[in-house]
Amino acid sequence: MTAPVGAQTAGEMEALPPGDLFRPLLADPKQPQFFAAFLWAKSAQVKDQVASVGLGENIGLVRGRGGWWQVSVAAGVFSQFDMERPSYDLINTDFIVGFPFTWRRGVLSGRVRVYHQSSHLGDEYLLRVHPERVNLSFEAAELIVARDFGTLRGYAGGEYLVRHEPSDLKPGVLHAGLEWRPGTPLVHLGRTGSGRFLAALDAKAPQEREWQVGWGARAGLEFSPSAPGTEVSRRWSIQIHAYRGPTPYGQFYLENVSSIGVGLHFSL
């Protein structure tokens, strides 16, 4: 959900450029973005209805000469709420902030990122369940390379935790995925925009879980406004969510979760 790279005069640097050279990963649970999803989940913490909410974005700081590299700041907050409780208890929140360096040359693109994550349990959940709390916090270095195949994009890479708590946390993570964005619109809703189908599969395998793969899948319709003067980067989508494997929610990284549901996503 990102704007195409705009025209740029050769030899010029561009401050605060729109969009990014590396498209956000559609099905990565920790991709900074604005979304709200209603899930039916099964794990050690919840057995039914969960609300999953994300607040975040990637903001370009500078795009280099020739328009092939970019430095950005990206931050996100990801929270889960137990919808089975009368007060919709906050279960877990993950905070992420990082500085991606992205690049694109033709059909190839990539992202190098150093980022920080810390995870925290909700107060009501702590008082009700009395779990054994884990002080999960780390800094990680990530590298992902992608290639476009027409309407398909494949990507692969990984990350390494350069500092982490707990101290015995194993540092490696492998990451790969496939995305499909057909160019032909399926529906037209006037100024609301044209709706295009999208689908994605994301796979992460943490060394801490003996390389067990967490599978995330998304499919849905993405709309971009057609009103004159509206920024192309402003899009919204409705997506089906599915996930199975090691939980992506920080405090419960030693456990598994499976979920399915639907969410609304917004790109500003």
Other Cβ atoms closer than 10 A to 24: 18
Give per-10-residue mean pLDDT for the chain (268 aa): 48 89 96 97 87 96 94 98 93 97 97 97 92 90 98 98 95 98 84 87 98 98 69 80 95 94 93
**Does residue 9 form part of some domain?**
no
Distance CA 182, CA 162 (A): 38
- In this prediction, residue 70 carries a pLDDT of 97
**Does residue 262 form part of some domain?**
yes
- In this prediction, residue 234 carries a pLDDT of 79
Domain of residue 106, CATH code: 2.40.230.10
**Does residue 148 form part of some domain?**
yes
**CA dihedral for 153, 157, 158, 159, sign (positive or negative):** negative
Count the domains in the chain: 1
The reported pTM is 0.91
**Does residue 192 form part of some domain?**
yes
Note down the domain range covering 212: 14-267
Distance CA 259, CA 227 (A): 36
- In this prediction, residue 231 carries a pLDDT of 45
**SS3 string of the chain?**
CCCCCCCCCCCCCEECCCCCCCCCCCCCCCCCCEEEEEEEEEECCCCCEEEEEEEEEEEEEEECHHHCEEEEEEEEEEEEEECCCCCCCEEEEEEEEEEEEEEEECCEEEEEEEEEEEEEECHHHHHHHCCCCCCCEEEEEEEEEEEEECCEEEEEEEEEEEEEECCCCCCEEEEEEEEECCCCCCEECHHHCEEEEEEEEEEEEEHHHCCCCEEEEEEEEEEECCCCCCCCCCEEEEEEEEEEEECCCHHHCCCEEEEEEEEEEEEC
**Does residue 2 form part of some domain?**
no
**Does residue 254 form part of some domain?**
yes
**Does residue 36 form part of some domain?**
yes
**Does residue 169 form part of some domain?**
yes
